[in-house]
Each structure stands twice: as C-alpha cells, then as structure tokens.
C-alpha cells in the first residue's frame, strides 16, 4: 500500500524519525533508567520496539493499558502511575504490577484487591494527584502495615515540563525534586520515578524517567529544542477550496487541541471544527487544489493518538505496517 491509498484522516508515523527517537533515549537512558509512558502512543506494537531497545519496564495511565501490556507479554514491570480505588482487574494480570498511592483510601484499595507493590505518589508542584511531601512517610507506613511492599516514590513536575526557557525548566525541576528528596527520605525504597519528555535530562537523583511523548513528538514539545524529531502526523485530504482558503477532512474529532491547533508546513491554520480544518497557504505560494493530501502536525500527541484506531508506519510513500492503537479506551 502507498500513503496515497490511505483513507483520511489517517494517523501516520515516519519510520526514520521514530527510530532516531527510540535509539537516542536507549543510549541516553539505557535499561531501567527509562520507564516509557505508553499513554503517549497506546500501542503495544510500538511498545515492543521500545522493549527491543532495552526498555522493558513501562508506565501506564489506565487499567486498560495495564491489561493490554500484560496480554502482549510486556508485563515484566508495569507501573500504573495513577490512583485507583478498584484494583481487582490488576491483581489477576500475568505481570509485575505497581500502583501509585497517595491516601489511606488508595492504600486500602490496593491491599484489599491483591496488589502487592506500590509507589507513594508525591505532589511536587502540579495541583493534581499526590500527597503532600510531609505526609509521604505516613502513607508509606500505612502501606507497609497493610502488607504492601513500598518500592519508593514518584512525582511529576508537570507544571514545568513544557516551559520554553531551559533555565526556568531547570530551576523548576530542582525545586520539585527537593520536595521529592525530602519525601523519599521518609518513605525509603529503591525507586525514585519522575519526569517527562520535557525534563528527561534534568534529573540527577532519579532512578527512572517516565517520558512518553519523545517517541512520536508534537509541536508543543518541538518548541523546547529537544533532541527528538517529529515522527507523527495526521494525513488529510483537501475537500474544498475557496478564494484565499482551503478545507481538509480532519478536525476536532481527530486531533488533540488542548495544547493549541495543529500546524501545516507552508500554511496557516485558521481554525478547526468537528471534521474540518480551514487553512490558508503562505503568502506568495500556490494554494492547494481539491484532492491534494496535506500533513498536519498535532500540538499534543497523546489525545490525538487516542482518537484513532490504528497507526500507519511509513517510509517515504510506502506503508510498511499498520498497528492497532490497542490500548485506547477504558
């Protein structure tokens, strides 16, 4: 099959930049130093490529992702980096399962439902999940008293991973990790699990980095001048042209828009609606014709992938493989 034969909108990944991104972090963060976050691609075929490069422990965001990874034989060390109050489905998996806890309620749920290992999730600045650093030791004590093994701590400095100024990113990471260091001193355990794509190289004391978007990349992270290449785009077809603008068949229902609109090389996106993107060619360039194919780069890869049932791996105009996005849904 050729790229031109794909029905649109179609999610497409280019082989060479994908291989570059995977290879780069396999060298920079070998083995257990990287715990890839599968929420970014939700695809066991892509996870197998990460495992083949030595990254055999994975981070998940949902129970569905945990189940799919275990079924695919990728359950050597799975972390559900999320709080859950019903862990019964996890206890039956053929996998090593670790769950994040941040409260007496999540500790009790893990112990009741047969989970054996936990990380204490610590709030290091992002107002989301995680206990106060001063409360981490108490949560760890509750977990051990309930018969759970406490592997260590995790913290996500999501409030700084996207800062364009690298010096500000470094300062933000240092402040967050000082909170986590204090919590870890109270919790104990060998694991300090942190980070994301935007801060992959800024952690001195962490044992593992939970980067995910690095594999495919998006325009939000491209602004940070990271050593990763854009590998994913959304293929669309121009279905209407007018004097000064054109419309293609991809919109809000096929693109994650929380980080902004997609980009099109040589054009300016005006707006997206449910099934359409309206855009204008750059001044001085020929406008597109009805039937032309265009490539949109999403601003946020994670929700974009989750909208689609499959990813097409391509090399130039050749479609090499088609992968199911088999970890989507709940």
Query: Can you name the residues that pair with 232 across neighbouring β-strands?
Result: 13
Answer with the one of 187, 215, 243 that is the final residue of a domain. Answer: 215
In this structure, is residue 329 part of a structural domain?
Answer: no
Is residue 153 located within the same domain as residue 269? no
pLDDT of 179 > 90? The answer is yes
Q: Residue 126: what are its φ and ψ, rounded to 5°?
A: -85, 125
Domain that holds residue 287: 3-11+229-324
Q: Domain ends where: 215, 243, 273?
A: 215
Instruction: Specify the pLDDT at position 188.
Output: 98
User: CATH number, domain at 276?
Assistant: 2.40.37.20
253 against 286, higher pLDDT: 253
* C-alpha gyration radius of the chain: 21
State residue 257's pLDDT score: 95
**Over pLDDT 70: what percentage of the chain?**
100
Beta partners for residue 88, in sequence order: none
The neighbour count for residue 323, using CB atoms within 10 Å, is 18
Residue 231 to residue 192: CA distance in whole angstroms: 29
pLDDT in tens, 103-115: 999 999 999 999 9
Same domain for 118 and 187? yes
Residues 50 and 140 in one domain: yes
What integer pLDDT is reported at residue 43 of this predicted model?
A: 98
- Residue 286 pLDDT: 85
What's the confidence (pLDDT) of residue 52?
98
pLDDT of residue 330: 85
Residues 192 and 303 in one domain: no
Shared domain for 90 and 177, answered yes or no, is yes
Whether 179 and 294 map to the same domain: the answer is: no
Residues 48 and 141 in one domain: yes
Whether 221 is covered by a domain: the verdict is no
**Is 139 within the bounds of a domain?**
yes
- Given this model, what pLDDT does residue 102 score? 98
Count of structural domains within the chain: 2
Domain presence at residue 302: yes
Average pLDDT score over the chain: 97
How far apart CA 297 and CA 230 sit, in angstroms, is 8
Cα 212 to Cα 54, 195, 262: the distances in Å are 15, 10, 19
Question: What does the pLDDT look like over 43-90, one tens digit per residue?
Answer: 999 999 999 999 999 999 999 999 999 999 999 999 999 999 999 999
Q: Is the dihedral of CA 56, 170, 165, 159 positive or negative?
A: positive
Q: Return the pLDDT at 29.
A: 98
Instruction: Say if 196 falls within a structural domain.
Output: yes
Would you call 167 helix, strand, or coil by DSSP?
Answer: helix
Asked if the structure places residue 222 within a domain, the reply is no
Report the C-alpha gap between 58 and 210 in whole angstroms.
Answer: 8
Q: Are residues 36 and 152 in the same domain?
A: yes
Last residue of a domain, one of 158, 189, 215: 215
CATH for 117: 3.20.20.10
**Which of 14, 21, 8 lies closest to 308, judged by CA?**
8
Residue 285: per-residue pLDDT: 86
In a domain? residue 78 = yes
CA-based end-to-end distance of the chain: 32
Q: Do 145 and 26 belong to one domain?
A: yes
Instruction: Answer yes or no: do 121 and 182 share one domain.
Output: yes
Residue 107, SS3? helix
Q: What is the pLDDT of residue 284?
A: 83
Question: Residue 155 forms beta bridges with which residues?
Answer: 194
Could you count the other beta carbons within 10 Å of the beta carbon of residue 24?
16
- pLDDT 10s digits, 261-314: 999 999 999 999 999 999 999 988 888 999 999 999 999 999 999 999 999 999
Q: Are residues 104 and 76 in the same domain?
A: yes
Q: What is the 3-state secondary structure (H, E, C) of 218-281?
A: CHHHHCCCCCCCCCEEEEEEEEEEECCEEEECCCCCCCCCCCCCCEECCEEEEEECCCCEEEEE
Instruction: Map tokens 């060390």 to a residue.
Output: 77
Number of Cβ atoms within 10 Å of the Cβ of 235: 22
* 296 closest CA partner among 284, 304, 306: 304
Judge whether 223 lies within some domain.
no
CA distance 318 to 287: 26
Q: How confident is the model at residue 126 (pLDDT cuts 50, 70, 90)?
A: very high
My answer on whether 245 and 272 are in the same domain is yes
């Amino acid at each position: 099959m050729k790229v031109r034969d794909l029905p649109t909108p179609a999610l497409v990944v280019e082989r060479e930049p994908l291989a570059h991104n995977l290879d780069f972090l396999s060298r920079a963060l070998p083995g257990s130093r990287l715990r890839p976050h599968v929420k970014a691609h939700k695809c066991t075929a892509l996870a197998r490529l990460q495992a083949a490069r030595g990254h055999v422990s994975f981070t998940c965001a949902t129970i569905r992702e945990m189940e799919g990874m275990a079924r695919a034989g990728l359950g050597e060390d799975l972390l559900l980096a999320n709080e859950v109050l019903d862990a019964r489905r996890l206890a039956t998996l053929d996998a090593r399962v670790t769950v994040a806890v941040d409260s007496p309620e999540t500790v009790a749920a893990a112990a009741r439902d047969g989970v054996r290992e936990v990380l204490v999730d610590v709030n290091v600045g992002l107002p989301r999940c995680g206990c106060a650093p001063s409360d981490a030791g108490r949560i760890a004590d509750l977990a051990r008293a309930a018969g759970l093994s406490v592997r260590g701590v995790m913290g996500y400095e999501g409030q700084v991973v996207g800062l364009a100024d690298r010096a500000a990113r470094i300062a933000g990471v240092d402040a967050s990790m000082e909170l986590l260091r204090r919590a870890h001193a109270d919790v104990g355990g060998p694991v300090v699990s942190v980070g994301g794509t935007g801060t992959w190289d800024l952690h001195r004391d962490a044992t593992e980095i939970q980067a995910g978007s690095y594999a495919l990349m998006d325009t939000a992270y491209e602004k940070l001048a990271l050593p990763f290449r854009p590998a994913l785009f959304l293929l669309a077809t121009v279905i209407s042209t007018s004097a000064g603008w054109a419309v293609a068949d991809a919109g809000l229902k096929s693109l994650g828009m929380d980080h902004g609109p997609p980009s099109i090389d040589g054009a300016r996106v005006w707006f997206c609606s449910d099934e359409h993107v309206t855009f204008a060619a750059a001044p001085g360039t020929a406008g597109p014709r009805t039937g032309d194919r265009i490539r949109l780069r999403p601003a946020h890869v994670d929700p974009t992938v989750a909208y689609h049932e499959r990813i097409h791996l391509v090399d130039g105009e050749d479609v090499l493989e088609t992968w199911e996005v088999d970890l989507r849904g709940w």
